[in-house]
Amino acid sequence: MSNSYRVAVVGATGQVGTLMLQLLRERAFPASEIVPFASSRSVGRELEGDLVVRGLDEESIQGFDLALFSAGGSSSGEWAPRFAAAGAVVVDNSSRWRMQDDVPLVVSEVNPEALAGHRGIVANPNCSTMQLVVALKPLHDAAGIERLVISTYQAVSGTGKAAVDELLDQSHALLHERAIAPPESYAHQIAFNALPHAGSFAAGDDHTDEERKLIDETRKILGDPAIRVSATCVRVPVVNGHSETVNVQTREPLSPERARELLAAAPGVTVLDDPAAALYPLAIDASGQDDVFVGRIRRDPGHERALELWIVADNLRKGAALNAVQLAELLDTGGLLRAQPAGTTV
Ligand SMILES: NC(=O)c1ccc[n+]([C@@H]2O[C@H](COP(=O)([O-])OP(=O)(O)OC[C@H]3O[C@@H](n4cnc5c(N)ncnc54)[C@H](OP(=O)(O)O)[C@@H]3O)[C@@H](O)[C@H]2O)c1
């Protein structure tokens, strides 16, 4: 008999949470019940599928087999261990647990084997890291990656719903020759601009936390701390879909033709690479799609063992919600979720 799980979705009213609910339904995850949680602001709100939002408290979190979190780092810090202590396996979208040694940081196509070591919490990587490693994995396996130089062009949806509204409001105001309200999501106006400031600067650090995540998480997921990573993360006025230029220097020689073949055969990757026909991945096309799209695959004229890539994906989908649901599926099929005996639910 197949398993059937009681599933909590924490942050269910947000962009990522809404998509996780949709994907659990679309992909027919074996759930006996799905319970949405959000902040106290949303308690009682009705969501699609006759779901009613609940608040987090010691009683409401009992009896779950699986908890998918996308409610920010502080909620995860406080509530993920409590869900885990109550018997659930937590898949967390925030950065709170990702670099902790005993927490697997997993991308379904890259290092699914790491799930086996979980101790109640599994971390879902940062969105820009996610799409990067899906594309890098086949190249790393074939030729060993020595160094990466990455520039991102990150959509505002990566910051949250409020940032999407701010981009649209600013654009509307400027197109109607009206003054914009003071920026709240970013340090500067995002409409018709590019900000070399995705994430935030911790005191004394000349890199943003987003850049640090890209560097640290890439090494952890690929299981190779020797890879040297340089990163600049830029926020651009795109609603959804992150783009990245990536210079990949390999230990062994790797031709663009071979890289194209490897990427075309890789799970979760679609190659779109015919620049003469203006065919390359675009954020507006990747938005709403599951795959990571790669194009502009070419030799770096500045280095004999380096290639240039352009990598685009839906940051809310593969970059967050889809990978979380794929991890839930792998936890189920791998026997790593323990359905609680009937009668234990509240
Ligand atoms: N956006 C991305 O591309 C992306 C990618 C990877 C990871 N993530 C991570 O996923 C998380 C959510 O991102 P998002 O874009 O979905 O944000 P969002 O649209 O702003 O949604 C935030 C969600 O968290 C809930 N929440 C906030 N404070 C809470 C609290 N104290 N207790 C319980 N729930 C609380 C909100 O509930 P209310 O509606 O009640 O306020 C809402 O459901 C963040 O940790 C983010 O870093 C996002």
185's tokens: 């999501």
What's the rounded Cα separation, in Å, for the pair 26 and 207?
39
Mention every residue, 6+ apart, whose C-beta is less than 8 A from residue 2: 30
Instruction: Please tell me the residue having the least CA distance from ligand 1 atom 27.
Output: 71
The residue whose CA is least distant from atom 12 of ligand 1 is 70
219 or 339: whose pLDDT is higher?
219
Contacts of 267 (CB under 8 A, 6+ apart): 109
Pairing of strands 306-313, 292-299: antiparallel
Average pLDDT over residues 129-137: 98
Residues labelled as active-site residues: 127, 242
What is the per-residue pLDDT across 207-265, written as a single tens digit (0 to 9) for each?
999 999 999 999 999 999 999 999 999 999 999 999 999 999 999 999 999 999 999 99
Q: What are the pLDDT digits (tens) for 44-72? A: 999 999 999 999 999 999 999 999 999 99
Q: Is the pLDDT of residue 342 over 60?
A: no
**Res. 339 pLDDT band, cuts 50 70 90:** low
One DSSP character per residue, 119-166 reads: SSEEEPPPHHHHHHHHHHHHHHHHH-EEEEEEEEEE-GGGG-HHHHHH
Q: What is the mean pLDDT of the chain?
A: 96
pLDDT at 340 > cutoff 60: no
Q: What is the predicted pLDDT for the residue at 2? A: 66
What is the percent of the chain where pLDDT is above 70? 97
Taking the centre of ligand 1 as the mean of its atom positions, its distance from the CA of residue 296, in whole angstroms, is 33
Residue of 341 and 235 predicted with greater confidence: 235
Q: What is the pLDDT of residues 102-124, one digit of tens each?
A: 999 999 999 999 999 999 999 99
Mean pLDDT of 280-304: 98
As to burial, measured by CB atoms within 10 angstroms (0-12 exposed, 13-18 middle, 19+ buried), residue 148 is buried
Residue 37 CA to ligand 1 centre (angstroms): 11
pLDDT at residue 346 above 80? Answer: no
Q: How confident is the model at residue 338 (pLDDT cuts 50, 70, 90)?
A: confident
pLDDT higher than threshold 50 for residue 179: yes
Kindly report the protein residue whose alpha carbon is nearest to atom 47 of ligand 1.
Answer: 94
Residue 287 and residue 304: Cα distance in Å, rounded? 34
Count the neighbouring beta carbons within 10 Å of the beta carbon of residue 62.
17
Q: For residues 17 and 38, what is the distance between their CA atoms, to the nearest angstrom?
A: 9
pTM over 0.85: yes
Q: Above 50 in pLDDT, residue 148?
A: yes
Distances (CA, A) of 95 to 77, 103, 141, 292: 10, 11, 26, 21
Q: Output the pLDDT for position 345.
A: 38
Take atom 11 of ligand 1 and give the residue whose Cα is closest: 70
Nearest alpha-carbon partner for 208 in 230, 232, 186, 188: 232
Atom of ligand 1 nearest to the CA of 130: 6
The residue whose CB lies within 8 Å of the most ligand 1 atoms, and thus the one to mutate among 9, 10, 15, is 15
* 70 Cα to the center of ligand 1, angstroms: 5
**Nearest-angstrom CA–CA distance, 220 and 48:** 37
Does the pLDDT of residue 344 top 70, yes or no?
no
Tokens of 214: 């890209």
Q: What is the dihedral of CA 119, 111, 106, 288, to 10 degrees?
A: -150
Task: Give me 178's structure tokens.
Answer: 């009206």
CB 211 within 8 A of CB 232: yes
Structure tokens that stand for 70 in this block: 């996308």
